[in-house]
Amino acid sequence: MITHAMEDYLKTVYLLQEGQKKVSTSAIAQQMDVSAASVTGMIRKLAAMGLLNYASYHGVELTEGGKKIAQEIIRHHRLLELYLVEIMGFTWDKVHDEADKLEHVISEEFEERMSEALGHPTTDPHGHAIPAKDGALQEVAYETLTKVDAGSSATVQHVNDNDPEMLRYLDQLGILPSTVIQVVSKEPFNGPLRLRIDQTEHFVSREVAGNVFVAAPGKEAN
Amino acid sequence: MITHAMEDYLKTVYLLQEGQKKVSTSAIAQQMDVSAASVTGMIRKLAAMGLLNYASYHGVELTEGGKKIAQEIIRHHRLLELYLVEIMGFTWDKVHDEADKLEHVISEEFEERMSEALGHPTTDPHGHAIPAKDGALQEVAYETLTKVDAGSSATVQHVNDNDPEMLRYLDQLGILPSTVIQVVSKEPFNGPLRLRIDQTEHFVSREVAGNVFVAAPGKEAN
DNA sequence: AATTATATTTAGGTACTCCTAAATTTTTAA
DNA sequence: TTAAAAATTTAGGAGTACCTAAATATAATT
Ligand SMILES: [Mn+2]
Ligand SMILES: [Mn+2]
Ligand SMILES: [Mn+2]
Ligand SMILES: [Mn+2]
């Protein structure tokens, strides 16, 4: 039997491993806000179930079976987020927490009906790709806005969705997926970035910029 | 902290006590399909939390606090059932199980947005009253179709919603809330009932009739 | 290469929810 | 009013998911 907690671990490993790389116990612990000891315990169980490969002291890697479950949960999560925004009228800062609970309990029929109501969408409100019913998810690793050179422009691909306050702030600035941002200048000593968004200039901290993932012009997704 | 299991116990006690009467350990155990010993254990915990009054060996009764939580969960459940049918297109036989899981995890905002989307409805797809946001639920105790005299007619108030197969059969017969049914005759020795529904005659078992709750003409609800 | 720092695992517990079997209380029937 | 039946509680356990503290392994530094 696969429990809700197990689903959360698999989801976390999947999102942390971005492709193939091994994921450490402490990375999982930090991400999930549980102790490293708890992670070790759960990992051993998941490894025994054949959902991930585990080399003691050297991190884990999902098996195909583990990946499949993780993708399913991520599909639930992202479809839910979009459904909550588009159909139910939630603001984008409230949907992550709601989806984190609902993702484990909805049926396949619920998933399918959401997808239909939304016209089988491919990205969630924050710009994250929605895995296809079976299909894998090639989450491209974009750079954050902090890496963009002063003078250059970039297009927002996705934003971190786990901090509601941050999302409200970004919304206020007009920063959402597909927004074009020009980095006018970057102040030294970890100073603020001067951004031009839709004719208006804003100064934002590096912390804020670190939550915004962009593609430089000419190398947008797909 | 109130857990999902506790919510389920409170909901069950609320629905079993219909008004004031005390609810026995075994009634709860049977309804929830757990052992009587498990019920005793949980009851003691809920009593310690002040959510119900418990006299050892003599059953339980919800306190006002316990009732409030039960009503909240029942409101979630019934709004969800209606939302799933009306907005998402589920058939009425699939919604009970889905709602049983979702009822514990949706937020107050989710509840409110469903209610709004549905125009603040007062009954669920099976004819059960939806408790108001704060308000109590006066679930009137209707009789089942088996109690209706041969020759009389009655109006369906609600049907049991926990058996999907039964619901599909009732739907096929055209038996849903507000349907008028004439009991043409009742065969002896627990024999079938001969029903006239919308000009057509049907023979149904007592078991089926026991799932249909009606008000005799002249004494419909409200 | 040895020491120190960091990461990870193991050991021992707690809380929650459920179980079966045995003991006890209440109810029913003789 | 006593004995049998039924209902309920208590005792003892299991599985899940966490935790802290101690032990151990790996990585970094001198
Ligand atoms: Mn999210
Ligand atoms: Mn998202
Ligand atoms: Mn129901
Ligand atoms: Mn119902």
Residue B4 in tokens = 């999902």
- Residue-wise pLDDT tens digits, B134-172: 877 777 778 999 999 999 999 999 999 999 999 999 999
Q: Is B106 in contact with A102 (Cβ distance < 8 A)?
A: yes
Minimum Cα–Cα distance from B115: chain A residue: A88
| CATH code: domain of residue B209 | 2.30.30.90
In degrees rounded to 5, what are phi and psi of residue B180?
-95, 130
- Residue-wise pLDDT tens digits, B52-86: 999 999 999 999 999 999 999 999 999 999 999 99
Cβ count near A222 (within 10 Å) = 7
Q: In this structure, are B15 and B41 located in the same domain? A: yes
In chain A, which residues have their Cβ closer than 8 Å to the Cβ of B105?
Answer: 101-102, 105
| CATH code: domain of residue A75 | 1.10.10.10
Single out the residue of A101, A133, A127, A130 nearest to residue A4, CA to CA.
A101
Confidence of residue B20 (pLDDT cuts 50, 70, 90): confident
Minimum Cα–Cα distance from A88: chain B residue: B113
Q: Please tell me the distance in Å from A105's CA to the nearest CA on chain B.
A: 6
Q: Is B90 in contact with A105 (Cβ distance < 8 A)?
A: no
Q: In this structure, are B104 and B56 located in the same domain? A: no
- Given a cut of 60, whether residue A189 has pLDDT beyond it is yes
Q: In this structure, are A179 and A132 located in the same domain? A: no
Confidence of residue A72 (pLDDT cuts 50, 70, 90): very high
Rounded CA–C1' distance between B40 and C20, in angstroms:
15
Top residue of B84, B88, B91, B108 to mutate, by most chain A CBs within 10 Å, is B88
Q: Check residue A174 and give left, alpha or beta (phi > 0: left; psi -120 to 50: alpha).
A: left
Chain C nucleotides covered by protein, CB below 7 Å = 7-12, 16-22, 25-27
Top residue of A81, A103, A105 to mutate, by most chain B CBs within 10 Å, is A105
Domain count, chain A: 3
Tell me how many residue pairs between chain A and chain B have CB atoms under 8 A apart.
39
In chain B, which residues have their Cβ closer than 8 Å to the Cβ of A114?
Answer: 88
Rounded CA–C1' distance between A40 and D22, in angstroms:
16
- Residue-wise pLDDT tens digits, A42-68: 999 999 999 999 999 999 999 999 999
A89 has a chain B CB within 8 A of its CB: yes
- Given a cut of 70, whether residue B133 has pLDDT beyond it is yes
Cβ-nearest to B98 among A89, A101, A110? A110
Q: In this structure, are A93 and A117 located in the same domain? A: yes
Instruction: Give the Cα separation of B217 and B222 in Å (integer).
Output: 12
Q: Which of A43-57, A165-179, A206-220, B6-20 is predicted with the least confidence, judged by mean pLDDT? A: A206-220
pLDDT of residue B31: 97
β-sheet bridge partners, residue B193: B186, B204
A141 CB below 7 A from strand D atoms: no
Query: Is A27 part of any domain?
Result: yes
How many angstroms separate the alpha carbon of residue B74 from the centre of ligand 4? Answer: 9
A10 CB below 7 A from strand D atoms: no
Q: Is B105 in contact with A101 (Cβ distance < 8 A)?
A: yes
Query: Is A220 part of any domain?
Result: no
Q: In this structure, are A152 and A180 located in the same domain? A: yes
Residue pair B195/B183 in contact (Cβ under 8 Å)? The answer is yes
pLDDT of residue A119: 98
Query: Is B153 part of any domain?
Result: yes
How many angstroms separate the alpha carbon of residue A185 from the centre of ligand 2? Answer: 29
pLDDT of residue B222: 34
Q: In this structure, are B57 and B84 located in the same domain? A: no
Dihedral angle, C-alpha A159, A162, A166, A169, nearest 10 °: 70
Q: In this structure, are B129 and B149 located in the same domain? A: no
Q: Please tell me the distance in Å from A53's CA to the nearest CA on chain B.
A: 32
In degrees rounded to 5, what are phi and psi of residue B46?
-65, -35
Top residue of A81, A84, A95, A110 to mutate, by most chain B CBs within 10 Å, is A110
Mean pLDDT over the full length of chain B: 94
C-alpha distances (whole Å) from A140 to each of A81, A127, B201, B217 are 20, 12, 63, 66
Q: Which of A27-31, A127-131, A187-191, B119-123 is predicted with the least confidence, judged by mean pLDDT? A: A187-191
Question: What contacts B91, CB < 8 A, 6 or more positions away?
Answer: B85, B168, B171
Place of tokens 């909901």: B11
Query: Is B222 part of any domain?
Result: no
Confidence of residue A221 (pLDDT cuts 50, 70, 90): very low
* Strand pairing category for B193-197 and B200-204: antiparallel
- Given a cut of 70, whether residue B220 has pLDDT beyond it is no
Domain boundary among B90, B110, B137: B137
Confidence of residue A217 (pLDDT cuts 50, 70, 90): low
Percent of chain A topping pLDDT 90: 89
Its domain, for residue B10, covers 4-62
Query: Is B221 part of any domain?
Result: no
Give B 98-117 residues with CB within 8 A of chain A: 98, 101-102, 105-107, 109-110, 113-114, 117
- Given a cut of 90, whether residue A218 has pLDDT beyond it is no
Is this structure's pTM higher than 0.75? yes
The burial of A151, by beta-carbon neighbours within 10 Å (0-12 exposed, 13-18 middle, 19 or more buried), is given as: exposed
Helix A64-86 with A4-17: angle, nearest 10 deg:
100
Q: In this structure, are B156 and B107 located in the same domain? A: no
Rounded CA–C1' distance between B140 and D18, in angstroms:
44
Percent of chain B topping pLDDT 70: 97
- Given a cut of 90, whether residue A81 has pLDDT beyond it is yes
B41 CB below 7 A from strand D atoms: yes
Query: Is B92 part of any domain?
Result: yes
Q: What residues approach strand C to within 7 A at the CB?
A: A 24-27, 36-37, 39-41, 43-44, 54, 56-57, 59; B 1, 3-6, 8, 33-35, 37-38, 41-42, 45, 57-58
Q: In this structure, are A146 and A90 located in the same domain? A: no
Q: Which residue has the higher pLDDT, A141 or A221?
A: A141
